[in-house]
Structure 1
C-alpha cells in the first residue's frame, strides 16, 4: 500500500506514539546508506547515480513492547518492514526494495544477564559484536563467534543469516550457540521459543527463525551460549604443494575428530590476495591452524595435527606466521584491503561434503576463468569452516575493469553468480554457508530447495499473512 499526504502523516503519528518522535526519522538522500547493506550491486547502483528505493521512515525502537507496537501498526497499514542491525550483510538482506520502514534495532543494545553457572548470555539483538565481546572478556568469557564483520555486525545479525566466525570448526556457528529467542511476529504478537534447544518436545521451532533474515518476525531477545577464554592458544602454518593435498589434510583432521579451533586453507590466489596483502611473506598453498584449551592438552593436540598434515605432504612453517595471521585476521576485510566498487567482485561461497569438494573447486574455478576470460576474471578461494562431514569454500571472483553501464554490469554480476551457484548445486553444495540469501540469491531458492521450497513458502504465508516482513528476500513471493 502506498501512503501519501495525510495518510502518510497519520502513519508517522502512530509510529511516533509507539517509539517517540525523535526515533522516527524521515529518509532523505543523506540517509540513503541506511536503505542498503554491503551488497555490491546496491553500492554500484548508487555510485552510478541510479534511483535507490527508499523507505518512508527509519524507526528505532528500544524495547520489545515498542517493536510490538510498530509491528501492529505496520500490519494494519500493510506496510513493509525491513529489520536492520549493523548493515554488515552482503546479500541485500537489509536492503529496502518496496518502500515501507527500516526497523533499526541498534538502540536495542542491552545485556540483560551473564549467567556464569550455565554460561549463557541474555541480551538484546542490537548490541554491537565488538562491544559485546569486550564486555564478556572482562568476565573471562567469550562468544566464540568472531566474524570478520565483528566491528559492524550485531548479535541479532549473527543469527539472522546463520553466520560463521573464524573459530566455528570447534565452537560451531551462531545457529549452534543460540539457546532460545524472543520474537515479535508480523501482527505484533510476542512469542518465545522453548527454553533449551535440545529436546524431544516436538519440532525445533527455534531454527525456523534463525536464518530467516527477518522474513518471519523480529528477534528481540537472545539467549546464547558462552565459552571460557582458553588458557592457551597455539598457532601453526603448514605449506602444501597443492590445494587438494591441503583439503585432504583438513578432511583427515575432521574425520578423526581433532577439530582445531581454526583451519584456514588458502589456495595460491587467496594466499597472494589475503595473506601477502596483510604483509605476510607467503606464497602457494598454506593452511593456518589454531588449537586452544588447557596448555598441556593443546600442545599434544597441535603435535597430532602437525603429524597428520605431514602425511599429506605438508611442511611445518612454524608458529610465527600463524600468530601473525591471528593478529591481522580482520585486516583483509577493512579498508584499504577490503575490495569495493569500482572493482567487480562477489563471494560465491558454499558448503558441501568431502566427496564433492575437490570437483566443486575445480569446476567453479574453470567456469569463472574460462567463461569470463574476456573480462580477465580471477578466481581464488580459501576453506575456512570445517565440519565432520564436509567443508565450506569461501571463494571469490574479481573483474578489475567491468562494463561502465549500470545495467550491463548488474547483469554481468548476476550471470556470474548464477553460473557459480549452479556449479555449487550440481556438486551437492548449497547457495550459501554463512552470508545468507537476501534478494541477491532469493530467485535461486526454488532450485536449491526443490519440492521443499513450497513447504517453506507455505510457512511464510501462514506466519506473515499480509507479506509485510522483509518482502523480496529468500525468494518469497510478494
Structure 2
C-alpha cells in the first residue's frame, strides 16, 4: 500500500510539472521554455568558485525545474502570477557572470532568463538618460551610445562575460571608472519591476526627491529577492574629450593608501585609481605587461583637456608629496589598454585552484588595519594549505576605498566535501576579520547564496528590518529564496 502511495505521489508530481510547463509555454511560447537537464544546469551556473568547482568535478549544481525566457514585461507578470499561484520559486538570471551563487536554485522552481528583454527603448539626449530592457548587455548598449557621442561609463570586469544592465543594478555593480562616474546605484534613474503576486511597479521618473522613502534604492541591490527588474533608466555621459594617464610606485601599500586618500579628500575626480600590493603587481606584470615596481598605482583622468591637465598636475603633486615616485604616463596607458586581460580566456583562475574575492569597502582610517589583519589570517591560519593573499584597491570614494583582495590555495583537498569546507572556512576568516575592523560585507559583487550567512553579522538588529520588508513584499518567499541570507519559500521545497 505504501509503495502505491509513493508511486502516486511521484506520478502526481510529474503531472503537476507537466501542467505548469504547459501553462508557462502558453505565456512565452513553446520555444522559450525548457525542462532539459543540460539547459537547467547551464541556467544554474555562474562564475563563482563553487559553480566552477562543481562543473570541474562533474557534480550537479542546484538547478531549477523550468527555464523560461520571457519577451515582454507582460509575460514576466504572467510568469510571476503562475509562480505565485503554485508557490514556485523564481530565480532571475541575467548574463550569469556573477560570482556569488546568485543563479543557484536550491529549492528548484523557475529560472527566469531575461536575455530577450534586450531592447534600447529610449535615448533621451536632452536629459542624458537611456532606458533599456534589463537583459541588454553592456557592450551592445555602449556601442549604440558611442554612436551618439555618449557613454554609460560602466565597465566591470564581467563586461565581456555577458553581464547585463539588470544584473549591474540588481547587485549594485561597479566598473573600472566608478571613482568618477559612480556605481550602478549612482547611475540608475528609474526602474520598472514586477513584484509578487504579479504586478508591475514603476519607481519615480527622477531619483532625487522628498516624496517619502525611496523605492528605487530598495530594489537596487535586492538581487531578485523583492521582484524582477524588467526595465532600467540610467544616467549617461558625454564621451570624454581626452584621457590623461599617470603611474607611481611606493615603498609599500600603506604609503599608496595615503596617497589615494589625499587625492580623494582633496575632492579631485580621477576616473581610475588602481593601487596594487606587491603580489598583485607581480600578477599584473604577467597578465597586462606593466613593469613590476613593487607597489604600483595607475591613475586615469578624463574629460575636457583643460580639466585633465589640471587634475593630472594636482594629483602628481599630492602623490609625490605623500611619498610616491612618478613613473610617467606609459604604464597607466598600458594598464588601460589591457584592463580586460585579467578576465581573458585562460587567465581567470579556475579549479582545481581554490580562490575567492572578498572586495570589502571601508573608511580610509580603517583600511590599513583591514589589509594587515586579512593578510595575516589567510597566510598564517591557513599556512598548512599554502594559502596566498593578494590585494589591490580599485574603487575609491570621498570617505574610503574598496579592498579587492583574494585568497588562493594551489592544491586544495581532493575530496569535494573537504574542499567545500576549506573554501567556506577561508571565507569565514576573511569576511569576519574585515567586518570586525570596520569593513562592509561587499562592495560590488553582491551577496547571493555564498555570503548570505554574513548578513546578520553585518547588519545586527537591522537585519530583522530587512527580513520583515522581504516578508511583507514577498510573503510566499518565492523570489530568489536562499539569497541575501533569506530562507526557503514559505511552503518549503515546492
> Is TM-score (shorter-chain normalized) higher than 0.5?
yes
From 41, 53, 56, the equivalent of 1:32 is: 41
Name the CA distance, whole Å, in 2 between partners of 1:320 and 1:104.
42
From 148, 162, 166, the equivalent of 1:156 is: 166
Aligned partner of residue 147 in structure 1, secondary structure: coil
Deviation at 1:274, TM superposition (A): 2.4
From 458, 464, 467, the equivalent of 2:474 is: 464
Question: Is 1:244 matched with 2:254?
Answer: yes
- Equivalent position of 1:67 in the other structure: 76
Q: Contact 1:213 / 1:438 at 8 angstroms: preserved in 2?
A: yes
Question: Is 1:146 matched with 2:155?
Answer: yes
Name the CA distance, whole Å, in 1 between partners of 2:49 and 2:255.
33
Structure-to-structure mapping, 1:12-51, within 5 angstroms? 12-29=21-38, 31-51=40-60
Aligned partner of residue 432 in structure 1, secondary structure: coil
Going from structure 1 to structure 2, the CA distance change for 1:170 and 1:102 (only over 3 Å counts) comes to: same
Name the CA distance, whole Å, in 2 between partners of 1:296 and 1:422.
45
> In the TM superposition, what whole-angstrom CA distance separates every residue of 1:103-151 from its partner, at most 9, and x where no partner exists?
0001100000000000000100000111111111111000011111112
- Equivalent position of 2:389 in the other structure: 379
- Equivalent position of 2:4 in the other structure: none
Deviation at 1:47, TM superposition (A): 2.1
Aligned partner of residue 4 in structure 1, secondary structure: helix
Name the CA distance, whole Å, in 1 between partners of 2:192 and 2:39.
33
Question: Is 1:169 matched with 2:189?
Answer: no
- Equivalent position of 1:321 in the other structure: 331
**Unpaired segments of 5 or more residues in structure 1?**
none
Deviation at 1:279, TM superposition (A): 2.2
From 377, 402, 405, the equivalent of 1:395 is: 405
Q: Contact 1:276 / 1:282 at 8 angstroms: preserved in 2?
A: no
Q: Contact 1:36 / 1:96 at 8 angstroms: preserved in 2?
A: no
- Equivalent position of 1:87 in the other structure: 96
**What TM-score do you get using the length of structure 2 for normalisation?**
0.95
Structure-to-structure mapping, 1:37-436, within 5 angstroms? 37-151=46-160, 152-436=162-446
- The range that moved more, 88-97 or 277-286, is 277-286
Deviation at 1:30, TM superposition (A): 5.1
How many positions carry a matched residue from both structures?
478
Deviation at 1:204, TM superposition (A): 0.9
**Unpaired segments of 5 or more residues in structure 2?**
1-8, 489-494
> In the TM superposition, what whole-angstrom CA distance separates every residue of 1:71-95 from its partner, at most 9, and x where no partner exists?
0001101111000000000001122
Aligned partner of residue 445 in structure 1, secondary structure: helix
Name the CA distance, whole Å, in 2 between partners of 1:449 and 1:78.
29
Deviation at 1:281, TM superposition (A): 2.1
Going from structure 1 to structure 2, the CA distance change for 1:53 and 1:94 (only over 3 Å counts) comes to: closer
Deviation at 1:34, TM superposition (A): 1.6
Name the CA distance, whole Å, in 1 between partners of 2:447 and 2:45.
15
- Equivalent position of 2:3 in the other structure: none
Name the CA distance, whole Å, in 2 between partners of 1:237 and 1:95.
41
Name the CA distance, whole Å, in 2 between partners of 1:448 and 1:297.
40
Q: Contact 2:288 / 2:334 at 8 angstroms: preserved in 1?
A: no
Deviation at 1:42, TM superposition (A): 2.1
Deviation at 1:280, TM superposition (A): 2.2
Name the CA distance, whole Å, in 1 between partners of 2:315 and 2:166.
34
Name the CA distance, whole Å, in 2 between partners of 1:366 and 1:262.
28
Aligned partner of residue 383 in structure 1, secondary structure: strand
**What TM-score do you get using the length of structure 1 for normalisation?**
0.98
Q: Contact 2:72 / 2:117 at 8 angstroms: preserved in 1?
A: yes
Q: Contact 2:63 / 2:104 at 8 angstroms: preserved in 1?
A: no
Name the CA distance, whole Å, in 2 between partners of 1:333 and 1:340.
11
Name the CA distance, whole Å, in 1 between partners of 2:96 and 2:63.
15
Name the CA distance, whole Å, in 2 between partners of 1:210 and 1:165.
16
RMSD between aligned residues: 1.2
Q: Contact 1:80 / 1:100 at 8 angstroms: preserved in 2?
A: yes
Name the CA distance, whole Å, in 2 between partners of 1:462 and 1:27.
34
> In the TM superposition, what whole-angstrom CA distance separates every residue of 1:137-193 from its partner, at most 9, and x where no partner exists?
111000011111112100000001101111111111010010010000021110111
Aligned partner of residue 95 in structure 2, secondary structure: coil
Question: Is 1:477 matched with 2:487?
Answer: yes
- Equivalent position of 1:438 in the other structure: 448
Q: Contact 1:163 / 1:434 at 8 angstroms: preserved in 2?
A: yes
Q: Contact 2:40 / 2:63 at 8 angstroms: preserved in 1?
A: no
Aligned partner of residue 105 in structure 2, secondary structure: coil
